[in-house]
């Protein structure tokens, strides 16, 4: 595991395998970002000139390596591009991405120091989190390859060093839990079924002092959780509903996070077409995000109660699988006609949302890789935000932007409900109009939210699993989408913002 620390040592005196500096595109060419003064001095004031000669432009994500000259204790200098030069410091997301690029470029190094942070704790936290996320590597099933950076050191000035240390500790807690979520998403489905996921949650609960309750298939049947059971019927690996609860003695608000946890989604009887099955291990990314967020809240000691509900099932075709046309009686009593077994995420979430609502939280936020329609609407890097409260929807959208996650507020048009309520034999159908399918799914979930509870739905189908080349601090594979948004939302609530 990569270690993360903060230091006020001079960049020139620190012994490390590599020293990371920032460069940017200025109006008259390449400029060196603040923090690298000692490095510029070691190059006798010609650092920008040398880098430009090697083709450096300062473009975002660009990297150039230089052997360190006399005057530096580090063996190597890595210049990472920040994009356009900033007059008054670089925003947190720019620093996060640059640190992530640097950490990935220096894989295999034992010790790396980063000069990207200035005096503020916010900058130190951004650099630390980006570097920790960028150093991530999922190698459990591979032999060979470079190890991630062993130790990352964030250099900062002595002024504000105490605050910087606390900021780096926060980044460590959030980053490690995000990487835990990434591991879960990347784990192949033969090694991560609902029972195993539940056991992982129980182990984390024991480690961090969280209360974990697991409902197995017998308890689900006794309790009437028809959605979870209906989706899990076709699999040899039965479903689970896992409650992971963090409470704080000074909490004045309670948040419920609900995560879709389909550990593998074949589509069931409504089998997915060829080419759509290979990445369906990622269909539990919502549950992974919720799990990580609750553990992070505990590690940060936030003065807010946070309960995570992990709705875990494996959606498989078999002789016992739910068929199109079957009717399920959901937890709480509503009946649903299943028109498409590949619209299964909303079924497990509905059960969990009703159960979460019984504890009367101030807010329910569900997170799910729910619909391909949302990917068509918003692309691969942006998640949709829907809510029964315009204020909550906007707050979550703004919160996501603050932590560097791309989101977009989406409506819940009342006229789209009709298509789901026209079932002749059940209260609802799990499918409605084809156009606006992502919104239809949100409207379906809204039907299961208890009266008087503010609720929001994050459809992370696009950004939860990245299939292209890595960029910034985002690797190929699981990304831990929505974890930062949930954690920041919990931090805001703990600070007294309206829940």
Q: Start-end ranges of CATH 3.40.220.10 in the chain?
A: 3-158
Average pLDDT over residues 14-43: 94
pLDDT digits (tens, 9 = 90+) for 61-114: 999 999 999 999 999 999 999 999 998 889 999 999 999 999 999 999 999 999
CATH fold of 3-158: 3.40.220
Question: Is 269 a residue whose pLDDT tops 90?
Answer: yes
Between residues 332 and 434, the one the model is more confident about? 332
Phi, psi of 100, deg, nearest 5: -65, -45
| pLDDT of the residue at 210 | 98
Residues of the chain with CATH 3.40.630.10: 180-494
**Average pLDDT in the 437-446 region?**
98
CA–CA distance, 224 with 331 (Å, rounded to integer): 5
Name the pTM for this structure.
0.96
CATH superfamily of 180-494: Zn peptidases (3.40.630.10)
Q: Does position 498 have pLDDT exceeding 90, yes or no? A: no
Instruction: Just list the catalytic residues.
Output: 272, 346
């Amino acid at each position: 595991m990569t270690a993360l620390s903060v230091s006020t040592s001079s960049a020139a005196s620190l012994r490390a395998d590599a020293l990371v500096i920032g460069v940017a595109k200025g109006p008259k060419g390449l400029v060196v970002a603040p923090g690298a003064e000692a490095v510029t001095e070691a190059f006798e004031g010609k650092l920008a000139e040398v880098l430009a000669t090697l083709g450096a432009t300062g473009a975002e994500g660009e990297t150039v390596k230089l052997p360190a000259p006399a005057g530096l204790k580090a063996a190597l200098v890595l210049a990472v591009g920040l994009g356009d030069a900033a007059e008054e410091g670089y925003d947190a997301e720019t620093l996060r991405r640059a640190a992530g690029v640097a950490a990935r470029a220096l894989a295999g190094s034992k010790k790396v120091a980063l000069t990207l942070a200035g005096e503020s704790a916010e900058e130190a936290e951004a650099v630390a989190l980006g570097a920790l996320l960028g150093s991530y590597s999922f190698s459990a099933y591979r032999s060979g390859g470079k190890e991630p950076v062993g130790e990352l050191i964030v250099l900062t000035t002595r002024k504000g060093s105490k605050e910087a240390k606390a900021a780096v500790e926060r980044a460590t807690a959030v980053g490690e839990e995000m990487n835990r979520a990434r591991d879960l998403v990347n784990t192949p489905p033969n090694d991560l079924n609902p029972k195993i996921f539940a056991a992982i949650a129980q182990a984390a609960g024991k480690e961090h002092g969280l209360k974990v309750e697991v409902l197995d298939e017998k308890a689900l049947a006794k309790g009437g959780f028809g959605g979870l059971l209906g989706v899990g019927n076709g699999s040899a690996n039965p479903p689970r509903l896992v409650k992971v609860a963090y409470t704080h003695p000074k909490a004045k608000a309670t948040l419920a996070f609900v995560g879709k946890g389909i550990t593998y989604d074949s589509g069931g009887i409504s089998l997915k077409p060829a080419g759509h099955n290979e990445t369906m291990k990622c269909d539990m990314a919502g549950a992974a995000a919720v799990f990580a967020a609750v553990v992070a809240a505990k590690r940060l000691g936030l003065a807010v109660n946070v309960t995570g509900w992990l709705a875990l099932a494996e959606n498989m075709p078999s002789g016992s699988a739910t068929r199109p046309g079957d009717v399920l009686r959901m937890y709480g009593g509503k009946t649903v006609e299943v028109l498409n077994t590949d619209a299964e995420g909303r079924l497990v979430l509905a059960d969990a949302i009703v159960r979460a609502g019984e504890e009367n939280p101030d807010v329910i936020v569900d997170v799910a890789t729910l619909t391909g329609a949302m990917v068509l609407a918003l692309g691969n890097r942006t998640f949709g935000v829907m809510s029964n409260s315009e204020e909550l929807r906007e707050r979550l959208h703004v919160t996501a932007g603050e932590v560097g996650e791309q989101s977009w507020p989406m409506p819940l048009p009342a006229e789209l409900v009709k298509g789901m309520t026209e079932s002749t034999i059940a209260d609802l159908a799990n499918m409605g109009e084809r156009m606006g399918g992502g919104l239809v799914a949100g409207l379906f979930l809204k039907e299961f939210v208890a009266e008087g509870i503010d609720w929001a739905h994050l459809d992370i189908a696009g950004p939860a699993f990245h299939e292209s080349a890595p960029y910034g601090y985002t690797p190929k594979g699981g990304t831990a989408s929505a974890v930062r948004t949930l954690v920041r939302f919990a931090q805001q609530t703990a600070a007294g913002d309206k829940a």
